[in-house]
Structure 1
Amino acid sequence: MRPGDRTVVSVLEVGGTHATAASVDIETRGLRLGRSFREEVDGDGSAEEILSALLRCAAHLPAPGVSRWAVALPGPFDYERGIGRYEGVGKFDALRGFDLRAALTASLPGAITVSFWNDADAFVLGEWWAGAARGHRSVAGITLGTGVGSCFLRDGRILRHGPGVPPEGRLHALRYADKPLEETVSRRALRRAYARAAGTSPPDVREIARRARHGDRAAASVFAETFSALGRVLGPLLAAFEPTVLVVGGAIAGAWDLVAEPLRTGLTEADPARNRRIAITPAHQPDQAPLLGAAHLATACDEPRRRSASR
């Protein structure tokens, strides 16, 4: 971008239970987020119901004078083609094989181009740009919600391989106790573990956290066991990657008082000397970071095309 250039990206950030829309004004000196709007999304709904929720959310934005939309959402998803690959992950099963790019391009106001980005990548980039990871060269980030998202950054670049980086940078691809990690660390896993421990039907994670704070030993134990397990999986990776900060986001990070200590304990089991040096922090911009990061990714992707077109 030349000095004085600016552009606006309309962004949708999609989670398993909600969607958020905002306009991001990108200038030479940074990103500026406008007002954001939120709508509930039923991750177990039909493709039409999910699409309708996204369009209702997008409709809150002022009529755009721009044609670029960026959508941040969790995997498994074919981000290049805009097609869902969800199956048996506790959300968005109806989007498996669904061409979300075609549906959104046809329906979003002013949409000419719609790009898709992994929500954890967008979150960590947003925290690096304007949040808890600002000023750090080497950053690891995770999101805790319907699943486990992850991103590894060095100098603002997303890494997909290298020392301490899991396959494709995706922590959820790893296993714990001979099972996929998300069978131990996820919203559904926490609820299932509490139901088993307490002998009751599973409340949502927010209620389990409330009970833990009020002396429910089963609830406290579930949080402690879940996040010490996550730390044991993540610890060897961070010892090899050597980030200076680990940023934690996602809905479950709202129970930071129950997450931080067991996570730190699990991390230090792997390599006490190295991992104790890592700053572990909740997100400073938990709601805004994915929106900023998605806009940053969308414009960074367009930059080579602009340079080519100007030659």
Structure 2
Amino acid sequence: MTGLPALEIGGSHVTAALVDPVTGEVGPRVRRSLDGDAQAPVLLAAIASAGLSVCPGGGWGVAVPGPFDYEAGVGRFAGVGKFAALNGVDVGAGLRARLGGPVRFVNDAVAFGLGEWRWGSARGHARAVGVTLGTGIGSSFLADGRPVTAGTEVPPEGRADLLRIDGVPLEDVVSGRAVVSACRAAGGSPATVADVLAAAGAGDPAARAVVDRTYHLLGAALSPWLTTFEATILVVGGGISAAWDLVSPPLRRGLATDVPVVRAADTEAAALRGATQYAVDRTRTHR
């Protein structure tokens, strides 16, 4: 198919595909593993290799997790357990040289929200909130498709991960690592959050209690912001959303609002679409 090239970078993978900027159709994806502990040249080469396999050249939309200076294209991955070698590195220059074209960076959760607003479950909603649940938690608050990152109607910087629950950072409660830690404290021995979710689904009472408490707290933390933002929909994606039957009931119970809560059909596709949309919008405004 024809389309614009996009990259979605995760903590352990990179996905490349062409995206039709009109229909949102995502072409065949190339997904490759990334070693988060690798040196910068190795990481940049791996990311570019995935991209070049779908499009030699062109202008790229790139969804990347924070902390990152999206305007400058510089990594800020200090002390976050991933991509340490990219901290302070001009990722934009590195990818431009390897991909042979311009790149536009956008936060991966914002890209997810944009993709869902334009082509997914949040389509037609003037005030949409997107949340991604995985290694950490990402969020986007969109007003008519525009990310809102300041003001009293959204959390600081529009980031749910900066919220606190009983004085504890939200990410330390609902991230994948937090779920694993809570389950181990309850007597379990999971290696990953997938193990916790599998045990909860199989009826393990300790794992189920951890899952119920975790996502009830997430709902309680998000609830006042959905209200102040006047959200008309909450879309949830990320790897943990695959266990929707386990996650959604406590999440809904924690929300003191009747805002509809839906699961994204395809988080990765949404991020690729959103990265494309962002790149197109930025190119138009900088002509």
For the superposition of Structure 1 and Structure 2, which TM-score range results when normalised by the shorter chain?
over 0.9
Instruction: Measure the CA separation in 2 of the matches of 1:25 and 1:167.
Output: 33
1:72 aligns with 2:63: yes
- Aligned-pair RMSD on alpha carbons? 1.7
Match of 2:54 among 53, 57, 61: 61
Paired AA for residue 145 in structure 2: G
The question of whether the paired residues in 1 share the 8 Å contact of 2:8 and 2:268 is answered with no
How many Å apart are 1:89 and its aligned residue? Answer: 2.5
TM-score (norm 2): 0.94
1:106-125 superposed matches below 5 A: 106-108=97-99, 110-111=100-101, 113-125=102-114
Q: Distance in 1 between matches of 2:60 and 2:244?
A: 32
**Count of paired positions:** 286
Deviations 1:3-51 (CA, angstroms, capped at 9, x unpaired): xxxx942111011121110112334xx4332221111122343333422
CA distance in 1, matches of 2:55, 2:47: 15
**Partner residue of 1:240?**
228
User: Over residues 150-200 of structure 1, what are the superposed CA-to-partner deviations in whole Å (9 max), with x where a residue is unaligned?
Assistant: 111111111112343111111111222322211111111111111221253
Which residue identity lines up with residue 296 of structure 1 in the other structure? Q
CA contact (8 A) 1:127 1:284 kept: no
Report the secondary structure of 1:210's partner residue: helix
Relative contact order higher in (CA < 8 Å, ≥ 6 apart): 2
- Give distance in 1, aligned partners of 2:71 and 2:214: 33
Distance 1:88 1:243, change over 3 A: same
Alpha-carbon distance between aligned partners in 1 of 2:35 and 2:121, rounded to the nearest angstrom: 30
Match of 2:45 in 1: 52
- Cα pair 2:188 2:207 within 8 Å, conserved: no
Match status 1:267 vs 2:259: no
Specify which of 251, 256, 260 is matched with residue 244 of structure 2.
Answer: 256
State the Cα distance separating 1:100 from its structure 2 match.
0.9
Letter in structure 1 aligned against 2:201: R
| Structure 1 segments (4+ residues) deviating >3 Å | none
Q: Secondary structure of 1:203's match?
A: coil
- Counterpart pick for 1:91 among 82, 88, 93: 82
* Structural mapping, 1:187-198, within 5 Å: 187-198=176-187
Distance 1:31 1:211 in 2: 36
Q: Residue 219 of structure 2 contacts residue 253 of structure 2 at CA under 8 Å; is this kept in 1? A: yes
Q: Report the Cα distance in structure 2 between the residues aligned to 1:303 and 1:168, rounded to whole angstroms.
A: 24
Q: In the alignment, does 2:126 pair up with 1:137?
A: yes
Q: Distance in 1 between matches of 2:209 and 2:18?
A: 41
| Bigger radius of gyration among the two | 1
